[in-house]
Amino acid sequence: MTWAATLLQRAGRTLDAADADAVEARLRTLWNDCETAWPSIELDPATFLTYIGERLSPDGSALEALTVIRVRELYLCCGCAAGQRAAIEALQTHYGAHLDAVLSRVARPGLQSRDDLEQVVRDHLFVGDTEQPPRITRYSGHGSFEAWLRVTARRTASNANRRKDPVGAADDALELPDHVDDPELNYLKGRYREEFREAFFEAVTTLEPRQRTLLRQAFVHGLNVRQIARMYQIHHATAARWIASAREQLASGTREALARQLELSERELRSIMVLIRSRLDLSIARALDSSGSIEPPR
């Protein structure tokens, strides 16, 4: 069986005979490029083709899909998922600075140390269990690998911190409709649900403490703007502006994170944000409901 046929069989796609030679040539070029980029990683072609095929977009021709997917990064991820020491060391060498920057910001005195968080993130990325494969397999090859790695590390480290001091966003807080009438939007929702959650989680973690408190008071505890205004000793219109600003920052932060992670058209991004905004208040309530206390006005 040719490389092209193997790839398309794994992807559940048919191959136009007219494109077969071009796809075959493209795959061998990509293979050579990956071997040059990661000479210490040893993969066989079948493993490589299977890994890429499982993540190939169903849209457009196979040749077009191979043009937009980030095969070099997926080759590295495939090696890491297989537990190859050389692949894990290569990822640390080329992307370790991104992980270091995240861990330095997330480490908090009295909770998890910097070294402890690094080990937690490494286990999460590279070690699977009987129920789930290593987290590194979640990278789809669409969008920046650096951004995906930073978001995954930040979420993992923040979750580790919250197990010792439960505050902030819930891991699966983003609430999306089960079904929408738009088939394309349904496809995007199903394919990138995890990326949507990670983008929302990243946006939640960038809120200031007072903004999280305001949103918790409004959407978890159900306080109206006049009650909140009295707590802060401000006019109710000011309280309303503060809440609206925090809510909008959360939405815009989610959009910015999605734009970094995924290669989506402006139209697709707008459609996704309509979907997210439609359940934003419920998502906020779920994200901030893990802390029972209300912080004092600042």
Per residue in 23-63, pLDDT (tens digit) is 899 999 999 999 999 999 999 999 999 999 888 887 778 88
| Overall average pLDDT of the 170-177 stretch | 63
Question: 104-142: buried (b, 16+ CB within 10 Å) or exposed (e) per residue?
Answer: eebbeeebbeeeebbebbbebbbeeeeeeebbbbbbbbb
| Overall average pLDDT of the 222-245 stretch | 92
Strand stretches in the chain, DSSP E: none
| Residue 199 near residue 173 (C-beta atoms within 8 A) | no
| Residue 176 near residue 196 (C-beta atoms within 8 A) | yes
Residue 149 has pLDDT above 60, yes or no: yes
Q: Which residue has the higher pLDDT, 232 or 194?
A: 232
Which pTM does this prediction carry? 0.60
Nearest to 169 by CA among 203, 196, 194: 203
123-127, 192-196, 241-245 — most confident range: 241-245
**pLDDT value of position 291:** 43
Q: Which residue has the higher pLDDT, 196 or 252?
A: 252
Per residue in 249-271, pLDDT (tens digit) is 999 998 988 887 777 788 888 88
**pLDDT value of position 243:** 94
In the chain, where are the structural domains located? 1-69, 89-165, 183-288
| Overall average pLDDT of the 229-247 stretch | 92
A 10 A CB-CB count for 33 gives 13
Model confidence at 14, in pLDDT bands (50, 70, 90)?
A: confident
Which amino acid appears at position 125 of this protein?
L
Nearest to 51 by CA among 24, 81, 95, 90: 81
**pLDDT value of position 292:** 36
Residue 274 has pLDDT above 60, yes or no: yes
**pLDDT value of position 171:** 46
Per residue in 56-80, pLDDT (tens digit) is 887 778 888 888 899 999 999 999 9
Residue 94 has pLDDT above 70, yes or no: yes
* CA 296 – CA 231 distance, rounded (Å): 8
* CA 174 – CA 196 distance, rounded (Å): 8
Residue 248 has pLDDT above 90, yes or no: yes
Residues, the chain: 298
